[in-house]
A and B are shown apart, each in its own frame.
Chain A
Amino acid sequence: MSRPRLIKESSAPLPLDRELLVRIHDLMVKTRTLEERLIQMYKQGHGYFWIGGPGEEAFNVPLGLLMKKGQGPEYDYLHAHYRQSGTLLALGEEPIGALRQMKNTATDPYSGGRNFAGHFSLRKYNVAPVSSPIEVQYAIAPGTAMVQKRLGGDGITIVTGGDAGTAEGDFASCLVWSSRPANPLPILIIVTNNKWGISTSGDGQHGETRVSDRGKAFNIQSKTINGNDPVEAYQELKAAMEYVRKERKPFLLEAMVSRLYGHSSASGANYVADEVDCLKTFEARLEQEGVLTRQQMDDLRNRYTEEMAAAARTARDEPLPAPETIWKHIFAEDK
């Protein structure tokens, strides 16, 4: 294992409550085992395509924990990326939903067998549908933020996406629409920077020193953080969210993360050993600080691995959507 370079000196005491650290760890392990199961399902032919977030748990889990969860503009909106299973699990979703989406069963709670893995959609928690075109969520997010701004209260809009996607005009749209002096918006603009498009490196894609520097031109407060450290991610997300909640102004947060299984099944979905593994690093720290023992963490992982396998077996036996359901939901019926 390469030495994690970005992590703070491990001698520093962990600044979060033990209970919270254990919870974050639990969700990170749950997310990792879910993703590993999804990849396995894909490789065994129980799905057509995999894309997901192993490597981003340290950032995505805190994000889900910190969201003000509920439906409607009083609560936070998440215009999500396709790597956010950690956020969804932290919001309280059961992993079997993602497995059902992988298997395209009629029971898939996010799309009824219609959409790819990782393409979550959950109105009850304001999770806008994830859609495959890169960055469109950045053009949509200002809309929910506008409604929230007008409503008052402390609900905010959160939008996430990848670094390569910031080349799309929608990212610029988001910066422009969020920061107009006459109407700044309560929006947390997040870029998870794993330094890659699919196979195009960041160097070949964009030239700014930090993606977060792009906020400067728009007078948007911004910061780059180590998204591989759940403690830093939790604290920085909390600070950024508090700013947006209170000031009703945008914040641009760039999180440096890893892409532990490559881009997707399109690039093989195999473990990439030279990336920082946020879970391993976090576990080493938890052990060192005496928060959890190796044994406890191994037991947890084994338990979740078994749970995911059982859930995958359940999903595997469930029926596909009936062909005639293609005609359902083209239009909303009056509610």
Chain B
Amino acid sequence: MANMAQAIRMALHYAEEKLGVTDIFGEDVGAPLGGVFTCTQGLKTTWNSPLDERGIIGAAMGIAMGGGRPVAEIQFCDYVYNTIDLLKLAGNTCWSSNGDWNLPMVVRTPVGSGIRGSIYHSHSFDATMTHIPGWKVVMPSTPLDAYGLLISACKEQNPVMFLEPKALLRVKGEERIPGEPDDDRALSKLIDAPLGDRSQWVPQWPQLEEYAVPIGKGKLVREGTQVTVVSYGRTLPLCARAAATLADEGLSVEVIDLRSLWPYDWEMIKSSVQKTGRVLFVNEDTEVTNFGEHLMRRTVEELFYSLLAAPRLVAGKFVPGIGLADTLEMASVPQQNDITTALRTLANEQP
């Protein structure tokens, strides 16, 4: 099965062939590299931009205004911070022009820990991005969802922030992308650029089919009855594994992959919490003013009388960076054990 980087590449190929994407660009996005995470290898509308994040976001806005359909990349989300006012502007252009202008543009950026990226290649961006109205914000946790969400993003009339969990970019999926060959090695031969000289290389794209994951719809990853866990991105597979472990202990955990952070699938969260009465939110952004805090607030305000225990948040520590040493990274962002323990505690909590 394809990994997430391959899935993104295939979605972009589909989008430039079928959905009118005109420009896939950013630092090192075009030939010869095809992106530092290889997500843009072999695509036909890619180009390398100057090393200028503000220029990249600005150009994407201008291309969208001019009638193009850009997919811009910020090499690491840690470097998107100097474009915050442009992101705000992209988000308010439709509103401030009273609906006259809209910006069909996608920005992709890798987020989070998991590659031992140290202080400036490990940051999360979900809390900051969900603070900017006018954008749709998505973060897949599987290759198939990455494919489907990116296709939806490329059909949007509005700016979409596509967050790519770095730690999952190389993880193979368990589901097939519609059209990808059965054999992983065959897929790699078709679409992975060779090492060394690639000047003569052209990819051979499989016959891909459209598969759109609607923005705003979560995924029920595992049904359960006693406690709900809501997550997305890198921590989602950890939550799923925790649920499997706890099932052996006789605990039934429902796992929701939010997939879209804005708009998000409140109906799915709500019906699950009404069923289980206990909910844990998990992400790895720093815990102060965290997106999970918003979800907790809404849970308390709207679902208080369905709750059997206080909702909880497992998130990254509120420290200025993620240190390079293994021990430091592990201590800074949620790990498997943190989630399993939190779920067990929550499930067993009695008033």
A110 interface residue (CB < 8 Å to B)? yes
Q: Are B67 and A328 in contact (CB under 8 A)?
A: no
Q: Are A140 and B62 in contact (CB under 8 A)?
A: yes
Contact with B along A227-249 (1 / 0, CB 8 A): 00000000000000000000000
B66 interface residue (CB < 8 Å to A)? yes
Q: Are A131 and B89 in contact (CB under 8 A)?
A: yes
A53 interface residue (CB < 8 Å to B)? no
Contact of B134 among A140, A328, A330 (CB under 8 A): A330
Residues of B within 8 A of A119 (CB): 96
Residues of A within 8 A of B23 (CB): 146
Q: Are B62 and A142 in contact (CB under 8 A)?
A: yes
B333 interface residue (CB < 8 Å to A)? no
Q: Give Cα A169–Cα B70 distance, bound, in whole angstroms.
A: 22
Q: Are B158 and A331 in contact (CB under 8 A)?
A: yes
Q: Are B55 and A176 in contact (CB under 8 A)?
A: yes
Q: Are B157 and A334 in contact (CB under 8 A)?
A: yes
From residue A307, how far is it (CB to closest CB) to chain B in Å? 25
In B50-103, the 8 Å CB interface with A consists of 50, 52, 54-55, 57-68, 70, 85-86, 89, 92-102
Q: Give Cα A62–Cα B52 distance, bound, in whole angstroms.
A: 33
From residue A133, how far is it (CB to closest CB) to chain B in Å? 5
Q: Are A173 and B94 in contact (CB under 8 A)?
A: no
Q: Give Cα A331–Cα B101 distance, bound, in whole angstroms.
A: 10
B114 interface residue (CB < 8 Å to A)? no
Q: Are B85 and A129 in contact (CB under 8 A)?
A: no
Q: Give Cα A144–Cα B127 distance, bound, in whole angstroms.
A: 31
Residues of B within 8 A of A110 (CB): 97-98
From residue A142, how far is it (CB to closest CB) to chain B in Å? 5
Q: Are A176 and B50 in contact (CB under 8 A)?
A: yes
Q: Give Cα A139–Cα B60 distance, bound, in whole angstroms.
A: 10
Of A2-10, A29-37, A120-128, the stretch lying at the interface with chain B is A120-128
Q: Are A173 and B58 in contact (CB under 8 A)?
A: yes
**Known interface pairs A136-B86, A332-B158; A177-B101 also in contact (CB < 8 Å):** no
**Known interface pairs A114-B96, A332-B158; A143-B67 also in contact (CB < 8 Å):** no
Q: Which residue of A lies closest to B100 (CB)?
A: A123
Q: Are B68 and A147 in contact (CB under 8 A)?
A: yes
Residues of B within 8 A of A176 (CB): 50, 52, 55
Q: Give Cα A166–Cα B332 distance, bound, in whole angstroms.
A: 41
Contact of B89 among A73, A133, A177 (CB under 8 A): A133
Q: Give Cα A131–Cα B98 distance, bound, in whole angstroms.
A: 13
Give the interface size bracket for B toward A. Answer: 35 or more
Q: Which residue of B lies closest to A146 (CB)?
A: B63
From residue B300, how far is it (CB to closest CB) to chain A in Å? 24
Q: Which residue of B lies closest to A169 (CB)?
A: B54
Q: Give Cα A84–Cα B189 distance, bound, in whole angstroms.
A: 56
Q: Give Cα A147–Cα B68 distance, bound, in whole angstroms.
A: 7
Q: Are A146 and B62 in contact (CB under 8 A)?
A: yes
Q: Are A331 and B157 in contact (CB under 8 A)?
A: yes
Q: Are B59 and A139 in contact (CB under 8 A)?
A: yes
From residue B45, how far is it (CB to closest CB) to chain A in Å? 10
Contact of B96 among A72, A129, A144, A157 (CB under 8 A): A129
Q: Are B97 and A77 in contact (CB under 8 A)?
A: no
Q: Are A328 and B66 in contact (CB under 8 A)?
A: no
Contact of A139 among B57, B63, B67, B95 (CB under 8 A): B57
Q: Are A136 and B97 in contact (CB under 8 A)?
A: no
Residue among B52, B58, B68, B136 with the highest chain A CB neighbour number at 10 A: B58
In A284-318, the 8 Å CB interface with B consists of none
Q: Which residue of B lies closest to A333 (CB)?
A: B157
Residues of A within 8 A of B67 (CB): 72-73, 147
Q: Are B101 and A128 in contact (CB under 8 A)?
A: yes
**Known interface pairs A129-B97, A330-B133; A140-B157 also in contact (CB < 8 Å):** no
Q: Give Cα A138–Cα B99 distance, bound, in whole angstroms.
A: 23
From residue A225, how far is it (CB to closest CB) to chain B in Å? 26
Residues of B within 8 A of A121 (CB): 96-97, 100-101
Q: Are B50 and A177 in contact (CB under 8 A)?
A: yes
Q: Are A122 and B100 in contact (CB under 8 A)?
A: yes
Residues of B within 8 A of A141 (CB): 58, 62
Q: Give Cα A293–Cα B23 distance, bound, in whole angstroms.
A: 56
Residues of B within 8 A of A108 (CB): 98
Contact of A144 among B50, B65, B89, B95 (CB under 8 A): B65
Q: Are B96 and A131 in contact (CB under 8 A)?
A: yes
From residue B210, how far is it (CB to closest CB) to chain A in Å? 17
Q: Which residue of B lies closest to A74 (CB)?
A: B67
Residues of A within 8 A of B101 (CB): 121, 123, 128-129
Q: Give Cα A329–Cα B101 distance, bound, in whole angstroms.
A: 10
Q: Give Cα A119–Cα B54 distance, bound, in whole angstroms.
A: 22
Q: Are B58 and A330 in contact (CB under 8 A)?
A: no
A61 interface residue (CB < 8 Å to B)? no
Q: Which residue of B lies closest to A114 (CB)?
A: B96
Residues of B within 8 A of A177 (CB): 50, 52, 55, 59
Q: Are B54 and A144 in contact (CB under 8 A)?
A: no
Q: Are A139 and B55 in contact (CB under 8 A)?
A: yes
Q: Which residue of B lies closest to A139 (CB)?
A: B58
Q: Are A112 and B98 in contact (CB under 8 A)?
A: yes
A253 interface residue (CB < 8 Å to B)? no
Contact with A along B252-278 (1 / 0, CB 8 A): 000000000000000000000000000
Q: Are A330 and B94 in contact (CB under 8 A)?
A: yes
**Known interface pairs A72-B67, A73-B66, A333-B157; A173-B60 also in contact (CB < 8 Å):** no
Q: A143-B66, A329-B98 are in contact. List 14 more A-B contacts (CB 8 A).
A: A119-B96, A121-B96, A121-B101, A122-B100, A128-B101, A139-B54, A139-B57, A140-B62, A141-B58, A144-B65, A148-B66, A329-B97, A332-B94, A333-B157
Q: List 28 A-B contacts (CB under 8 A).
A: A73-B67, A79-B62, A110-B98, A112-B98, A115-B96, A123-B100, A128-B101, A129-B96, A136-B85, A139-B59, A139-B86, A140-B59, A140-B61, A140-B62, A141-B62, A143-B58, A143-B66, A146-B63, A169-B54, A173-B52, A176-B55, A177-B59, A328-B95, A329-B95, A330-B94, A331-B94, A332-B157, A335-B157
- A contact residues vs B (CB 8 Å cutoff): 72-73, 77, 79, 108, 110-112, 114-115, 119, 121-123, 128-129, 131, 133, 136, 138-148, 157, 169-170, 173, 176-177, 180, 328-335
